[in-house]
């Protein structure tokens, strides 16, 4: 592992949806409509509460168990294609993300539940891909997605950084749970559109986040004062 020492984190691992890009309102709406199309009696509020930050593999396993609706052939690919079409017309970066990433000195990567095609499409569309130097990791590269720690441990290993020298930026309980299980401290971000007016992040703190913030432009200060913030 890299032997760098210092006050701040050596690696910042960003979730993508709801942290870098304001995609969750779009994604959750498309998922809800497609689930209802195959006969799942579910509404947007339930989808948001249960599946934000969760991989499609885990989502469809829950749907089969809880609703008795097996995944139709081609359904996941159809949802992904539908979501990408919606992204083309609606997707935006989280306010301030591009400017902050452009001035960050810390090493950084992305670790997301989304599949690689969607990840790169979304980050390219919003102009953020260039800030990660190809270091974009997907849950499809590991055995288990969030809330398991596999993806974050994989990302840290690929970047050759010890887990305790990482800081994760997450917006969902499964993501915070996964980071904590990986031995990585977490900052909870609650500035995405899916948070609505309640941006207290109480559930993220309860899941183990060190603290929460709702303006991306606050991130440089939080990282610069990380030792104090993490105690």
Listed by start position, the domains of the chain span 11-23+92-229, 25-90
Is residue 56 a contact partner of residue 76, using CB atoms and an 8 Å limit?
yes
Neighbouring CB atoms inside 10 A of 74's CB total 9
User: What mean pLDDT is predicted for residues 199-208?
Assistant: 88
Taken as a whole, the chain contains a residue count of: 231
Q: In whole angstroms, how far apart are CA 212 and each of 19, 32, 158, 218? A: 12, 28, 27, 10
**How confident is residue 54, by pLDDT bands cut at 50, 70 and 90?**
confident
Is residue 110 a contact partner of residue 16, using CB atoms and an 8 Å limit?
yes
Q: Are strands 166-170 and 11-14 parallel, antiparallel or unpaired?
A: parallel
Q: Does domain 11-23+92-229 have CATH number 3.40.50.1000?
A: yes
User: Got the DSSP string for 166-208?
Assistant: EEEEE-SHHHHHHHHHTT--EEEE--SGGGTT----HHHHHHT
DSSP 21: B
- List the end-to-end C-alpha distance of the chain, in Å, as a whole number: 24
Residue 22 annotated to the active site: no
**How confident is residue 192, by pLDDT bands cut at 50, 70 and 90?**
confident
Per-residue pLDDT, 57 = 86
User: What mean pLDDT is predicted for residues 100-122?
Assistant: 93
Is residue 152 a contact partner of residue 112, using CB atoms and an 8 Å limit?
no
User: What mean pLDDT is predicted for residues 185-207?
Assistant: 82
Q: Which CATH number fits domain 25-90: 1.10.150.240, 3.40.630.30, 3.90.420.10, 3.40.50.10310?
A: 1.10.150.240
Residue 106, pLDDT > 90, answer: yes
User: What mean pLDDT is predicted for residues 94-102?
Assistant: 96
Query: Considering the chain, what percentage of its residues have pLDDT values greater than 70?
Result: 92
Is residue 147 a contact partner of residue 55, using CB atoms and an 8 Å limit?
no
**How confident is residue 195, by pLDDT bands cut at 50, 70 and 90?**
low
- C-alpha span between 149 and 207 (Å, rounded): 14
Burial 77-107 (b: 16+ CB within 10 A, else e): eebbebbbeebeeebebbeebbebbeeeeeb
Which of 15, 22, 150, 171 is labelled catalytic?
A: 15
Per-residue pLDDT, 23 = 87
Per-residue pLDDT, 198 = 63
In sequence order, the 6+-apart residues with CB closer than 8 A to the CB of 6 are: none
Task: Report residue 223 CA to chain centroid gap.
Answer: 18
- C-alpha span between 126 and 14 (Å, rounded): 15
């Amino acid at each position: 592992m890299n032997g760098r020492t210092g006050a701040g984190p050596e690696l910042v691992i960003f979730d993508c949806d709801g942290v870098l890009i304001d995609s969750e309102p779009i994604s959750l709406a498309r998922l809800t409509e497609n689930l209802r199309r195959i006969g799942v009696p579910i509404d947007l509020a339930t989808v948001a509460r249960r599946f934000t930050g969760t991989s499609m593999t885990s989502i469809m396993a829950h749907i089969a168990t809880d609703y008795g609706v097996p995944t139709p052939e081609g359904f996941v690919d159809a949802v992904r294609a539908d979501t990408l079409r919606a992204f083309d017309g609606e997707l935006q970066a989280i306010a301030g993300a591009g400017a902050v990433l452009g001035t960050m000195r810390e090493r950084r990567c992305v670790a997301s539940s989304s599949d690689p095609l969607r990840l790169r499409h979304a980050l390219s569309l919003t102009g953020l891909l260039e800030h990660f130097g190809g270091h974009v990791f997907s849950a499809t590269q590991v055995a288990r997605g969030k809330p398991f720690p596999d993806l974050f441990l994989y990302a840290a290993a690929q970047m050759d950084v010890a887990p305790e020298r990482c800081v994760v930026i997450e917006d969902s309980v499964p993501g915070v749970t996964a980071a904590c299980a990986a031995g990585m401290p977490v900052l909870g971000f609650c500035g995405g559109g899916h948070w609505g007016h309640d941006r207290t992040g109480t559930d993220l703190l309860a899941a183990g986040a060190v603290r929460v913030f709702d303006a991306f432009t606050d991130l440089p200060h939080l990282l610069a004062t990380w030792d104090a913030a993490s105690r």
